[in-house]
Amino acid sequence: MGSDRTFLYGIAGAMLVSSITGAAFAAEREYSPGVGTDYPKSVYFGDLHLHTRNSPDAYGQGNKELSPADAYKFARGEEVLSSSGVKARLKRPLDFLAVTDHGEFIGAYYRFTAGDPALLESNVGKRWSGFVKEGKPEKLMAEFVTSIETPDSARNKLPEVVARSIWSEVAQTADQYNAPGRFTTFAGYEWTSMTGGNNLHRVILFKDRADAVSKILPFSAQDAIDPEKLWTALEGFEKSAGVEVLSIPHNSNLSNGIFFDEKTLSGGPLTKTYAETRMRWEPIVEVTQIKGDSETHPVLSPTDEFADFERWDSWNIMGRVKTTPEMLPGSYARSALKRGLEFEQKLGANPYKFGMIGSTDDHTALPTTTEDNFFGKFANSEPNAHRSETHMASGKYVDWQLGSSGLAAVWAPENTREALFAAMKRKEVYATSGSRIMVRFFGGWDYARDAVFRDDYVKVGYGKGVPMGGDLTRAPAGKAPVFMMLALKDPDDANLDRIQIVKGWLDKDGKSHEKVYDLALSDGRKVDPKTGKAPPVGSTVDVADASYTNTIGTAELAAVWTDPDFDPAERAFYYGRVIEIPKPRWTAYDAKFFGVKMPPDVPMVVQDRAYTSPIWYTP
Amino acid sequence: MSRFLRDPLVHFLAAGLLMFGGYMALNPHGSAEDDPSRIVVDRPALLEFLQFRTKAFEPERANALLDAMGPRELDSLIRDYAREEALYREATALGLDKSDYVIKRRLVQTVEFVAGNASAPLTVNDAGLNNYFAAHKDRYAEPATITFTHVFFDAGQGRDVASGRAAKALAAMNGRQVAFADAPGWGDRFAYNLNYVDRPMDAVAGHFGDNFTQQLFALKAEPERWQGPLESAYGFHLVMVTARKDLVFPPLEEIKDRVREDYMADLATERRDELIDDMLKHYEVEVTLDRRGAVKAAAR
C-alpha cells in the first residue's frame, strides 16, 4: 500500500510539473522540428483474417497444399498457383497479413494425410484411421463441426508434441516473413465457436515473436464456446507467456442476434465487469468480409439508402435457423453501437464500444479484395465459369453472394507489429469493402471551418481533438462537437460519390436513435432540405463490357461538420462512411471473362465503401 | 454424400476428404518380395503412389495423369517412388516389418532422420558461403527506392486549370531556385505526405497510383531542379527527386547470418538427399511401365 501511494503521489507530482512547463513553453517555438509530429502519417492496408490448408474446412474443400508461407508470399506480391490451378497475383501487395486458421484441429487434417506418425498413433489419429478403414470418411469430416459445437477437449486432444509442433510452425512462419517497415505479419488463429448453428467466431491475434507465442497453445472452441471463457484464457496467455493478444469478432451478420446480445451467452445479465472485460479484449470488430457486410441492415436503418450492401440475412452460418427481424439488432455493428450506449447508461460501462475493420476470411490462402481479381472463398469458388451457381460449402448460401471484401486499414507511425497493434488497441483503424480508400476522421470542439483544407490539417486534427476511435467528453458550454473528415479515392480504383457521418445517440428516455448526414457530395449535388437526401451519383457501368469510367464522382472529398442536433446531455457516437461511385461487381467481370450469362438475381454492380471507427461523446 | 448428412459444413468437409477411403483399399505394394534388392516400378505401383501424392483417390484421373506426363516429370515420379520404397526396405530390414501404413510412415521418417543426422556436423567455410551467396543474390536484393518532395495542384477544380497552374509554377520555382524545404505553400494541400524518403515503388503507388509512380521512377535524381508536372489520380505534381536507389544487392557482410542460415539449411537437405541416393544404389530399380516413349527416358 505504502509504495502504491508513493507511486500515485509521484504521478500527481509529475503531472503538475509537466503542466507547468507545458504552459510556460506553450507559446514558444520548438527547436527540433520533429517534436510533436509523432502522429500516424500513413495508413496501412492488410488482412487480419485468412485461412490456408491448415484449416480443416479449407483443406476438406480442396485447399490441399497452399500453406501459411504461400499466403505470406502472395500477400507481399509474389505469383502463386491457386488450389484449382489458376495463377494468382495481387496488383499491389498488402502491407500486413495475419494467417488465422481455425484453432480446432489446426493443421491436423493436413498432417494426418501426410502421415504424421505421432498423430496417427494418438487416440484422435486412431479414431480417424478407423473412420477411413470403415470407409466412412464423412465421420472424419463431422469431427470438426461436432468438436466446435459440443466441446470435449479430452476426446479431441491432439498429442502435445503434434499440437506444439504445428502451432510453433505457425508462429515461426509468421516471424520468417515479417519485414519491419515493409511487410508485417502476425501469428494468430480463429476461435470458431458456434451454438445452434449461430456464429460467434473470433480471430485471436498475437503481437509477439514465435519464441513467446509458442509458449502457449491455442484455446479453441473445443475447449469452450463461451466468449467469457475465451477472455479468461487470453488473460492467462498474457500472464504466462508475456504476450499481447486481441480477439476480433466477425460475421455477426450470421449470428442470429447473439453476437451483440442483451444477455450473456450463458443467459445472465450484462454487468459492468462483463462490459469492461469484453472491451479489454475486443476493442475492434471485423464488419465486412467475403460472407457479407455487417454494418447495418435495411430493416434496422430503413431511411439509409446505402444500408442494403452485400447482405447475407437468410439463415445463420450453418443454414439451420432462419433469420427473423427481431434477431437483427444483435447482428449488426450500428445497432450494437447503439445498444452499447444504452448499456453504458445502465451499467456505467459500454460492452459494445468497438472500432471497425474489414478482412477477407478467404480460405484459399489468397487474400484478394478487388472486383477484377476475386479468388473466392473455397477452392470451388476460385475463378471458373460456373462459380456463380455452386453453393458455399454445399450449404444454403450461393457462391454469387460472396463479396470481394474487405481490408483492414490502420493509421500508424510505421509498418511494424508494435505500431499496428497499438493502433488496433486505440481503435485508430477503419474498414473498407476492398478498395484502398484513404480516410482521415477527427473530432474536437474548435476546428476552424477551413481546417481540413489547410496543409497542416493532420497536425490540427490531432492537436485540437481526437482521431477515429477516440473520445470526447464534457462539452464546453454552448459548443457542439466539430468533425473533420477527408477521404481520398484508391488511386487505381473508382472515384468517390460522397462522404457521410453516421450518428447514434441516446435520448432522455434511454432510447437510442440513428441518423446519417451527407457531409460532401461529388458533382455539385446538394442535399434536398425537404427530404434530407441527395440525388444518386448515377452510373457509368457497362455491365456487358465489365467497365466503368471515372467521369462522375471525384478523387477527394473533405468537410468540417458541426453536429446541428447536438444535446450535451446525450451520449452519442459518430462514425464516417465513404461511398464510391458504382463499378462492375466481380460477377460482371466473370460474366465477361468466361462468356457466361449470370442468373437474373445476381447483382452485377457494386458501390464499395469505407467505415471509420467511431468517435464517442460521453456527457 | 448429402444423403448421409444434414450439416452442410460436414457435407463439404466430407466431399473433400473422401480420399481417406483409399487408405484401406490400397495395400502397400509388395512386388519384390522375392528379391529384396530389386524394386519393380510398374503401372499399379505408380498409380497408387500418384494417388497418395495428389491426395485424390480417383484411379481414372491418375491413369490419365500418368499417361500425360512428360519424360522429366515421369522420371522424378519414378525416382521418388523408388526412394520411398528403398527407405521402407531399409526400415523393414531393421526387423520391424509391419504392413500398417502408420508404421511404414514412421519407419520411413526415422530412416530419413537418421540419414540427415548420420553425417559429421555441417561446417561452413567462407569460400562455400561466398559461392552460395553469389548463386542466390536475387533472394537478398533490396527493392529500388526514391526520395522526393512534391508540390500538388488539385484537379478538383478542373484538370486543365490544375495542369496550367502546375506548368506556370514549374517555371517560377525553377527560376527562383526554390529549395526542397521551401516547397510548402506553392501548391494545394495534399492529403498524404509532402516528403517521401527512401520509399519503394509499391509504397509510392499506394499514395499516388500506378501511372504517376511509373513516371516518377523514370526520372533522374536532380536535387536542385523541379521536374514534371506528373499526373496522378488526384491532380498534377511538380517533383524534386533528391535520391534514387536502384535495386540493391546488399554485401554479404551485412547479411551474413541470414545467408549462413539458408546455406546450412540447403546443405542439410543436399546431404540427406545424397545419403538416400547412396542407399538407393543398393537396389536395382526395374521399370516395367507400359507407356511408350517416356519409359526409356525414365530408366537410369
Q: What's the pLDDT score for residue B19? A: 32
DSSP type of residue A253: G
| Listed residue (A473, A463, A441) closest to A574, CA to CA | A441
Chosen from A37, A129, A132 to mutate, greatest number of chain B CBs within 10 A:
A132
CB of A492 less than 8 A from some CB of B: yes
Q: Given an 8 Å threshold on Cβ–Cβ distance, is B202 in contact with A92?
A: yes
Q: How far apart are CA A186 and CA A398, in angstroms?
A: 32
Confidence of residue A34 (pLDDT cuts 50, 70, 90): low
β-bridge mates for residue B273, sequence order: none
Smallest Cα distance from B205 to chain A, Å: 8
Q: How far apart are CA A113 and CA A210, in angstroms?
A: 26
CB of A179 less than 8 A from some CB of B: no
CA A98 to chain centre: 12
Q: What's the pLDDT score for residue B101? A: 65
Among chain B residues, CA nearest to A93: B202
Q: What's the pLDDT score for residue B40? A: 87
Q: What is the DSSP string of A507-558?
A: -TTS-EEEEEEEEEESTT----TTTS-PPP-----BTTTTB--TTSSBSEEE
- Could you report the per-residue pLDDT of A530-581, keeping only the tens digit for each? 999 999 999 999 999 999 999 999 999 999 999 999 999 999 999 999 999 9
Confidence of residue B69 (pLDDT cuts 50, 70, 90): confident
CB of A457 less than 8 A from some CB of B: yes
- Could you report the per-residue pLDDT of B11-39, keeping only the tens digit for each? 333 333 333 333 323 333 444 456 778 88
Q: Given an 8 Å threshold on Cβ–Cβ distance, is B210 in contact with A128?
A: no
Lowest-confidence segment of A190-204, B98-112, B170-184, B275-289 by average pLDDT: B98-112
Confidence of residue A329 (pLDDT cuts 50, 70, 90): very high
Q: How far apart are CA A541 and CA A549, in angstroms?
A: 7
Does the pLDDT at position A21 exceed 80?
no
Q: What's the pLDDT score for residue A37? A: 64
The larger pLDDT score, comparing residue B66 to residue B297, is at B66
Binding-face residues of B in 117-156 toward A, CB within 8 A: 154-156
Does the pLDDT at position A508 exceed 70?
yes
Mean pLDDT value of segment A475-492: 96
Residue pairs between chains A and B whose CB atoms are closer than 8 Å = 153
Handedness of CA A441, A447, A450, A454 (dihedral sign): negative
- Could you report the per-residue pLDDT of A110-132, keeping only the tens digit for each? 888 878 888 988 999 999 888 87
| Listed residue (A416, A1, A480, A456) closest to A185, CA to CA | A416
Smallest Cα distance from A216 to chain B, Å: 26
Binding-face residues of A in 304-333 toward B, CB within 8 A: 318-319
- Could you report the per-residue pLDDT of B90-138, keeping only the tens digit for each? 777 765 555 466 666 666 766 666 555 544 556 778 888 999 999 988 8
Q: What's the pLDDT score for residue A35? A: 62
CA B167 to chain centre: 46
Q: Which of B4, B9, B207 sits opposite A57 (nearest CB)?
A: B9
Highest mean pLDDT among A111-120, A128-137, B47-56: A111-120
Q: Given an 8 Å threshold on Cβ–Cβ distance, is B20 in contact with A436?
A: no
pTM of the model: 0.82
How high is the ipTM of this complex?
Answer: 0.85
Smallest Cα distance from B300 to chain A, Å: 28
Q: Given an 8 Å threshold on Cβ–Cβ distance, is A132 in contact with B24?
A: yes
Cβ-Cβ contacts under 8 Å, A116 against chain B: 105
Report yes or no: A452 and A442 within 8 Å, Cβ to Cβ: no
Highest mean pLDDT among A587-601, B49-63, B250-264: A587-601
- Could you report the per-residue pLDDT of A138-153, keeping only the tens digit for each? 787 788 888 887 888 8
Smallest Cα distance from A523 to chain B, Å: 10
CB of B113 less than 8 A from some CB of A: no
Q: What's the pLDDT score for residue A16? A: 37
Q: What's the pLDDT score for residue B273? A: 79
Q: Which three cell numbers stand for residue A261?
A: 446480445
Does the pLDDT at position B72 exceed 50?
yes
Q: What's the pLDDT score for residue A592? A: 97
- Could you report the per-residue pLDDT of A425-455, keeping only the tens digit for each? 999 999 999 999 999 999 999 999 999 999 9
Binding-face residues of B in 213-272 toward A, CB within 8 A: 232-235
CB of A393 less than 8 A from some CB of B: yes
Smallest Cα distance from A268 to chain B, Å: 30
Q: What's the pLDDT score for residue B261? A: 81
Binding-face residues of A in 523-582 toward B, CB within 8 A: 554-556, 558
Q: What's the pLDDT score for residue A39? A: 87
Lowest-confidence segment of A4-8, A517-521, B64-68, B154-158 by average pLDDT: A4-8
Does the pLDDT at position A245 exceed 70?
yes
Binding-face residues of B in 9-28 toward A, CB within 8 A: 9-21, 23-24
Q: Given an 8 Å threshold on Cβ–Cβ distance, is B205 in contact with A62?
A: no
For chain B, what is the mean pLDDT? 77
Highest mean pLDDT among A12-21, A317-326, A543-552, B69-78: A543-552
Q: What's the pLDDT score for residue B30? A: 41
For chain A, what is the mean pLDDT? 92
Mean pLDDT value of segment B183-187: 88
| Listed residue (A334, A347, A384) closest to A573, CA to CA | A334
| Listed residue (A266, A583, A440) closest to B191, CA to CA | A440
Residue B24 CA: distances (Å) to CA of A34, A275, B27, B101: 69, 53, 7, 9
Q: What's the pLDDT score for residue B110? A: 64
- Could you report the per-residue pLDDT of A169-192, keeping only the tens digit for each? 999 999 999 999 999 999 999 999
